[in-house]
Amino acid sequence: MNKKFLLMLIGVLSFKSVHAQIVQANGSSTVYPITEAVAEEFQKEFKGKYKVTVGISGTGGGFKKFCRGESDIQNASRPILSEELENCKKANVKFIELPIAYDATVVVVNPKNDWVNEITVEELKKMWEPSAQGKVTKWKQVNPKWPDNDIKLFGAGADSGTFDYFTEAVVGKAKSSRGDYNASEDDNTLVTGISKEKNALGYLPMAYYIENKSKLKALAVISQDKSGKKNPAVLPSKETVENGKYIPLSRPIFIYVNEASLKKTEVAEFASFYVKKAPELVTAVQYVPLPSKAYDLVKTHLEKKKLGTVFNGHSEVGLKIEDLLKKESKL
Amino acid sequence: METIMASASDVENKLEPLSVLKSNLAVNVKQRKRSDFLFSLVGLMSLLFALITLLALFVDLAMTGVPRIDLAFFAEFPSRFASKAGILSAWVGTFAVMITTAFCAIPMGIAAGIYLEEYAPKNWLTRLIELNIINLAGVPSITFGLMALGLFVYKLQLGQSILTAGLTLGLLVLPIIIVTTREAIRTIPNSIREASYGLGATHWQTIQDHILPYSSGGILTGVIIALSRAIGETAPLVTIGALTFIAFLPSSPVSPEYPFLSFKWLMDSFTVMPIQMFNWISRPQAEFHVNAAATGVVLLLMTLIMNGIAIFIRYRFRKKMKW
């Protein structure tokens, strides 16, 4: 232990004649754990030759910086939006879009709740749409089979990407939600709230559910085809997200790489290291990796520097991995 | 009680019939005593409430955090493995930012305080400046962050660096230093100044040899209180773009070549302890929450030690004063 202390002191006072090159990543807090893991491994691999910093400013805030050319890598929990595309164009920032993992939102209730095990997207909409505000206050109002108890809703705060995606997937329009629910930017607060309230229902990023499985009960989600046919109920799990059955509440997450930055060796090295290590590290931080076919495609995109986005400036709800692959291969 | 009533009634017995007055007074005294007692009870309850809440929070934090604190915790960079993660980049960052803050705020704050107290003419302009300084002390810290983002980061192109952070926090605590400096100077009796002038000292000599030494206890206390406020600030640093993951240290302040001192670290990116703590507490894994609690304990101890030093300095200087 004393040796370590000494090393630390030497570290603090050490002379650095060569200033190492720095890769700057910024953006979404959802993607952060993956980029952090990659950055950690990357610095170990190159033994301090390259340095990486990762900041958190949200997907939206991150894109603002990215499109001013202030960051090399942008972590994004949704595709770039039209407005942001405009900004990037104005500043002449070109980018390569790389899907790197899948993330899912889980609908959870209190473990003592014995009346609901599965829920349709329709029912979720009834609870969460803006017009439900002040009106839909009992479980019975959503489904007559459910008891006449007050319904206590918990959800993400309006600045989070989870909020954007959940509202888009359930209500049909991003950021359109009722306002009279317990909102928190801190998902741990939501976990505590739901685990203490028998009549609670809320939504969370998958990682928070996995860590708190004993305190929460996940609901199987019943989605609808475009034709109106109901799909069987699907519980969220790594498998159902990976095979595209858990829809519409799963989504791809991305990193965007500034094309100009790629000319710097450290950024180029980091980006290819990211894609190479993603399958292993994504699993390690408890996200769902894309199929290996997808990573191969992503790798070629990076190698051939395929610019632009495949999403035309808006998120797509319930995108299956095959669809993503099809989209990506068209680029 | 009888004697009080008696003496009171003696004074006023010419105005009112004694019996009426006596009973009025008895009721009055009883009532007042009761409300006196009630108030002291309310006061005590408030005090206990605040203290117990604070103590409970601290004990809770310490019980979770203290077992996690070892030397490695100070010597390791953040990591995705909670058990291997440490606060090296965070405490070095906090330290570097604090030094920069001190260099920015202390000389300017003390100079401004001396000017306002000793030199400034007492007119409407001075009063306006005074009013503004007091107002500045109450401005929410996030506002300073936004101002710094516009001014230091973009206008002056200082980037998201330690220097930007130091300047921002320096401005944030400047009003505190100015106000405490003035208050410290004001406690010095005028007779000391007059004695000094009487012996032929100039204004500056008086300040240098008498005012400053005698008020330095108060000034130092103010400085340390200001710095211990700055050490816990998060919002303005998040606004100017402090980082969350950074696994390397700023450049070294000493270099082997001439001129041996390097200020390159001022332009390096950084993170600080409250930001590291916030990042860990919002993770899903409980092990990271333990890390956050440990960081909280370290931060609290740092603040506590700084405040302790402030109290000690004040005590020492009080003892030295001989008027």
pLDDT tens-place string over residues B82-96: 888 999 999 999 999
Which of B23, B43, B68 marks a domain boundary? B68
Which of A242, A264, A299 marks a domain boundary? A242
For chain B, the C-alpha Rg in angstroms (whole number) is 27
> Is B249 found in the same domain as B155?
yes
pLDDT at A16: 39
Residues of A in contact with B247 (CB under 8 A): 39-40, 43, 51-52
> Is A226 found in the same domain as A168?
yes
pLDDT at B6: 52
Residue A321 has pLDDT above 80, yes or no: no
Residues of B in contact with A52 (CB under 8 A): 245, 247
Q: Residues 29..58 of A with a Cβ closer than 8 Å to B: which?
A: 29, 32-33, 35-37, 39-40, 43, 48, 51-57
Average pLDDT over residues B296-304: 90
DSSP line for A12-80: HH----SPPEEEEEEE-TTTHHHHHHHHHHHHHHTTTSEEEEE---HHHHHHHHHTTT--SEEEESSPP
> Is B150 found in the same domain as B53?
no
Weakest-pLDDT range from A73-87, A128-142, A186-200, B12-26: B12-26
Name the residue in chain B with its Cα closest to that of A8. Answer: B75
Q: What is the DSSP letter of B267?
A: G
Higher pLDDT, B101 or B245: B101
ipTM for the whole complex: 0.77
Residue B212 belongs to a domain: yes
Q: Residues 48..87 of B with a Cβ closer than 8 Å to A: which?
A: 70-72, 74-75, 78-80
> Is B286 found in the same domain as B203?
yes
> Is A111 found in the same domain as A222?
yes
Residue B217 has pLDDT above 90, yes or no: no
pLDDT at A12: 47
Residue A33 belongs to a domain: yes
Which of A242, A263, A290 marks a domain boundary? A242
> Is A324 found in the same domain as A267?
yes
Average pLDDT over residues A19-47: 87
Residue A2 belongs to a domain: no
Residue B53 belongs to a domain: yes
Residue B8 belongs to a domain: no
* CA distance linking residue B218 with residue B316, whole number of Å: 11
Domain count along chain B: 2
Residue B255 has pLDDT above 80, yes or no: no
Phi, psi torsion values for B317, nearest 5 degrees: -70, -35
> Is B124 found in the same domain as B59?
no
> Is B309 found in the same domain as B246?
yes
Nearest to A55 among B92, B243, B247 (CB): B243
> Is B180 found in the same domain as B47?
no
Average pLDDT over chain A reads 86
pTM: 0.79
Name the residue in chain A with its Cα closest to that of B284. Answer: A208
Domain count along chain A: 2
Residue B14 has pLDDT above 60, yes or no: no
> Is A306 found in the same domain as A217?
no
> Is A133 found in the same domain as A22?
no
Residue A1 belongs to a domain: no
Smallest Cα–Cα separation from B74: which of B295, B297, B307?
B295
Residues of B in contact with A207 (CB under 8 A): 284
Q: Model confidence at A311, in pLDDT bands (50, 70, 90)?
A: confident
Q: How many CB atoms lie within 10 A of CB B240?
A: 23
pLDDT at B3: 52
Residue B7 belongs to a domain: no
Could you tell me the two tokens for A310? 């495949």
**The pairing of beta strand A50-54 with beta strand A220-222:** unpaired
pLDDT at A94: 92
> Is A224 found in the same domain as A115?
yes
Q: Model confidence at A18, in pLDDT bands (50, 70, 90)?
A: very low
* CA distance linking residue A316 with residue A148, whole number of Å: 36
Which of A242, A260, A275 marks a domain boundary? A242
A233-281 confidence digits (pLDDT tens): 999 998 888 888 888 888 888 999 999 999 999 999 999 999 999 999 9
* DSSP 3-state of A222: strand
> Is B268 found in the same domain as B190?
yes
pLDDT at B5: 52
pLDDT at B1: 47
> Is A291 found in the same domain as A222?
no
> Is A110 found in the same domain as A230?
yes
Residue B168 belongs to a domain: yes
Q: Is A280 on the interface with B (CB under 8 A)?
A: no
> Is A127 found in the same domain as A210?
yes
Weakest-pLDDT range from A313-322, B134-143, B302-311, B312-321: A313-322
Residue A181 belongs to a domain: yes
B61-70 confidence digits (pLDDT tens): 999 888 888 8
For chain A, the C-alpha Rg in angstroms (whole number) is 21
Name the residue in chain A with its Cα closest to that of B239. Answer: A57
Q: Model confidence at A17, in pLDDT bands (50, 70, 90)?
A: very low
Inspect the interface and report whether the beta carbons of B281 and A186 lie closer than 8 Å.
yes
Average pLDDT over chain B reads 86
Higher pLDDT, B199 or B6: B199
Inspect the interface and report whether the beta carbons of B248 and A51 lie closer than 8 Å.
yes
Residue A247 belongs to a domain: no
pLDDT at A286: 84
Residue B226 has pLDDT above 50, yes or no: yes
* CA distance linking residue B85 with residue B65, whole number of Å: 14
> Is B206 found in the same domain as B157?
yes
When mean pLDDT is compared over A313-317, B119-123, B247-251, the highest value belongs to B119-123
Smallest Cα–Cα separation from A54: which of B148, B84, B79, B165?
B79
Smallest Cα–Cα separation from A116: which of A140, A136, A89?
A140
Which of B32, B47, B68 marks a domain boundary? B68
Inspect the interface and report whether the beta carbons of A19 and B71 lie closer than 8 Å.
no
Mutation target to probe the A interface, by most A beta carbons within 10 A, among B73, B95, B157, B245 is B245
Residue A299 belongs to a domain: yes
> Is B145 found in the same domain as B43?
no
Inspect the interface and report whether the beta carbons of B282 and A187 lie closer than 8 Å.
yes
Average pLDDT over residues A2-7: 53
> Is A228 found in the same domain as A295?
no
Q: Is B30 on the interface with A (CB under 8 A)?
A: no
pLDDT at B240: 86
Residues of A in contact with B245 (CB under 8 A): 32, 35-36, 39, 52-55
> Is A230 found in the same domain as A109?
yes
> Is B164 found in the same domain as B73?
yes
* CA distance linking residue B221 with residue B303, whole number of Å: 13
> Is B212 found in the same domain as B97?
yes
* CA distance linking residue A223 with residue A305, whole number of Å: 37
Residue A52 distance to chain B (closest CA, Å)? 7
Query: B146: domain range?
Result: 69-320
Residue A297 belongs to a domain: yes
Residues of A in contact with B78 (CB under 8 A): 36
pLDDT at A306: 84
Residue B176 distance to chain A (closest CA, Å)? 30
Average pLDDT over residues B118-142: 90
Residue B310 has pLDDT above 80, yes or no: yes
Residue B314 has pLDDT above 50, yes or no: yes
Query: A82: domain range?
Result: 10-101+252-329
Average pLDDT over residues A32-44: 92
Inspect the interface and report whether the beta carbons of B248 and A48 lie closer than 8 Å.
yes
Residue A4 belongs to a domain: no
Q: Is A189 on the interface with B (CB under 8 A)?
A: no
Weakest-pLDDT range from A299-308, B19-28, B54-63, B67-76: B19-28
> Is B132 found in the same domain as B264?
yes
The domain spanning residue A318 has which CATH number?
Answer: 3.40.190.10
The domain spanning residue B305 has which CATH number?
Answer: 1.10.3720.10
Contact B218, B184 (CB under 8 A): yes
* Beta pairing partners, A27: A75
Which of B51, B68, B85 marks a domain boundary? B68
Residue B2 belongs to a domain: no
* CA distance linking residue A247 with residue B75, whole number of Å: 44
